[in-house]
Structure 1
Amino acid sequence: MADDAKLWKVGDLARATGISVRTLHWYEKVGLLRPARRTRAGHRVYGERELMRIQQILSLRAVGMSLDEIRALLARRDASPLDAIERHLARAKELIAEQQRLVVRLERVALALRAGSKVSAEDLLRTIEETVMIEKYYDEEQRKQLEQRRVEVGEERIREVEQAWPLLIAEAKQAMDEGVDPADPRMQSIASRWMALVREFTGGDRGIHESLGRMWKSEPSLAQRNGMDPALFEHVGRAIRIANGGKDWTGE
């Protein structure tokens, strides 16, 4: 520790923060962090200002930003430590919310096991989905947006939408089985409501639309559990393309 107890040589800073000397050197090399000064012997020395800079870097990394993006953001005149901390805080809260939802599912499974009851396949599937699907198909920024959508929409509306989907899928299947053409007003009504529910989930974000589409196309078991077989998926897709001017539900 340097003589005024508020300055750290690079090795001291590495030990105090748990960040390696190599990483601190790399931050300097890519233009993210500069030492406050150097000693006559050439040793790097860091102060409280640099500590705050490190916190900004770590906070922005935690919300999924690349080092290049962080460098560009911190170079802006309006960049502030508070902005980085608030972004990190929001993400931390989202992670807590995600874990709380998983806790609810795991508690349900644990309760059944403690009682010696058989855990339903549905509960196990939903627990696995909650654990895997979101991280598999949505990147960190998209997960952040989805959590914000959940807050904006509200739990009551979410429950309403969860009840609406099976009914809409069943209606679409019945229409297909009856041979209703995708261009028919009946299927077009289904397509419009389908797209409206998707937009409500995604907030109109194209990237989330695309990730959602990949998940449904790549997880046939997920689609089947929700009453969607490949034929129905294609039939609804054709109706959506007609309603959407030739584009599918991802906007392509």
Structure 2
Amino acid sequence: MPERNISQRVSMKVGELAQQTGVSVRTLHHYDKIGLLSPSRRTEAGYRLYGDDDIIRLQQIVSLRQLGFSLAQIQDCLNQNEFSPHDVVQLHLSKLKEHIELQQLYARLEIIASQLQSTEAISIQDFLQLIEVTNMIEKYYTPEQQAQLQARREALGEEHIHQAEAEWQTLIDQARTEMAKGTNPASEAMQVIVQKWQSLIQQFTGGDSGIASSLQSMYQQEGAEVASRGMVDPELMEFMGKAMAATKGSDHTGQV
């Protein structure tokens, strides 16, 4: 395994790390107390700081928690010298194949996995974003909903899923083009886009009102740019909201 080439060195206080990752201060303090994750650096004034290796370890903890490992099991895994960050990423990749809503996180993990096997520089920001996205998914989707989405993915098949992803990107590009042209959100051109947009949401949720509600909550609370991982910016989301409001009978669930 090539030595990790970290392209960014950071030192973060517990509050800063919590804010960037979505892991609560209380949880970080608990991990410190049980010896699972402790800040490895100190300032001259004695303040404890999390460094690069601490952040990478936190990403492993968060991934393993999503995979169903207990804290004791995670401690055992991470204490094994042969259990590397790459092993954790590969485990997480295998799990994510089961979930249709996690494709962007899957893509990010694939990039990290490739970097961990090469001498390519790895940004600590990549690990911070992985932690944030993983926590966000668990925050809004219940285990039961994730199981439903897994079953739906299996029913749709990989080819259909890849096709839907391409359709989403095309539709977002079309909406952004209309917005740049100054098109009226109530125009016929935008109503066509709205219908396709809602159809893709229907494919994702399978018509399940609970999953639709979780999706909407994630967008409302996290914001469009964070929830979509950069696919949809707030301006475009506002434009689409106006277009949907102009559609009779719209359910206003206009999230990606």
Query: With structure 1 as the length reference, what TM-score do the two structures score?
Result: 0.52
Q: Residue in 2 aligned with 1:154?
A: 157
1:178 pairs, out of 178, 181, 186, with 181
Which amino acid in the other structure matches residue 98 of structure 1? K
After TM superposition, give the deviation of residue 127 of structure 1 in Å: 4.2
Higher RCO (Cα < 8 Å, 6 or more apart): 2
Cα distance change, pair 188–125 in 1 and its aligned pair in 2 (3 A):
farther
Q: Residue in 1 aligned with 2:95?
A: 98
Q: Residue in 2 aligned with 1:139?
A: 142
After TM superposition, give the deviation of residue 229 of structure 1 in Å: 1.9
Output aligned runs, 1:231-250, within 5 Å. 231-249=235-253
Output aligned runs, 1:3-152, within 5 Å. 98=95, 106=109, 108-119=111-122, 124=127, 127-128=130-131, 131-152=134-155
Query: With structure 2 as the length reference, what TM-score do the two structures score?
Result: 0.51
Cα distance change, pair 236–105 in 1 and its aligned pair in 2 (3 A):
closer
After TM superposition, give the deviation of residue 121 of structure 1 in Å: 8.4
CA distance in 1, matches of 2:128, 2:177: 26
Cα distance change, pair 97–203 in 1 and its aligned pair in 2 (3 A):
farther
CA distance in 1, matches of 2:249, 2:140: 27
Q: Secondary structure at the match of 1:180?
A: coil
Identity of aligned residues (%): 40
CA distance in 2, matches of 1:100, 1:223: 19
**Does residue 194 in structure 1 map to residue 191 in structure 2?**
no
* Structure 1 spans left out of the alignment, 5+ residues: 1-94
Which amino acid in the other structure matches residue 232 of structure 1? L
CA distance in 1, matches of 2:107, 2:194: 33
Deviations 1:123-148, CA, capped at 9 Å, x for gaps: 75774466333211111221111111
Q: Residue in 2 aligned with 1:18?
A: none
CA distance in 1, matches of 2:214, 2:241: 16
Number of aligned residues:
156
> Does the aligned pair in 1 maintain the 2:218–2:227 contact within 8 Å?
no
CA distance in 2, matches of 1:239, 1:104: 30
Q: Residue in 2 aligned with 1:212?
A: 215
CA distance in 2, matches of 1:182, 1:137: 29
* Structure 2 spans left out of the alignment, 5+ residues: 1-91, 99-104
Q: Residue in 2 aligned with 1:28?
A: none
Structure 1 residues 223-232 or 99-108, which shifts more?
99-108
Q: Residue in 2 aligned with 1:229?
A: 233
> Does the aligned pair in 2 maintain the 1:195–1:240 contact within 8 Å?
no
After TM superposition, give the deviation of residue 217 of structure 1 in Å: 2.6
CA distance in 2, matches of 1:244, 1:97: 42
Structure 1 residues 130-139 or 97-106, which shifts more?
97-106
Cα distance change, pair 113–165 in 1 and its aligned pair in 2 (3 A):
same
Cα distance change, pair 156–133 in 1 and its aligned pair in 2 (3 A):
farther
CA distance in 2, matches of 1:104, 1:177: 29
Deviations 1:163-205, CA, capped at 9 Å, x for gaps: 2212211111111121111211100000000000000000011
Cα distance change, pair 108–225 in 1 and its aligned pair in 2 (3 A):
closer
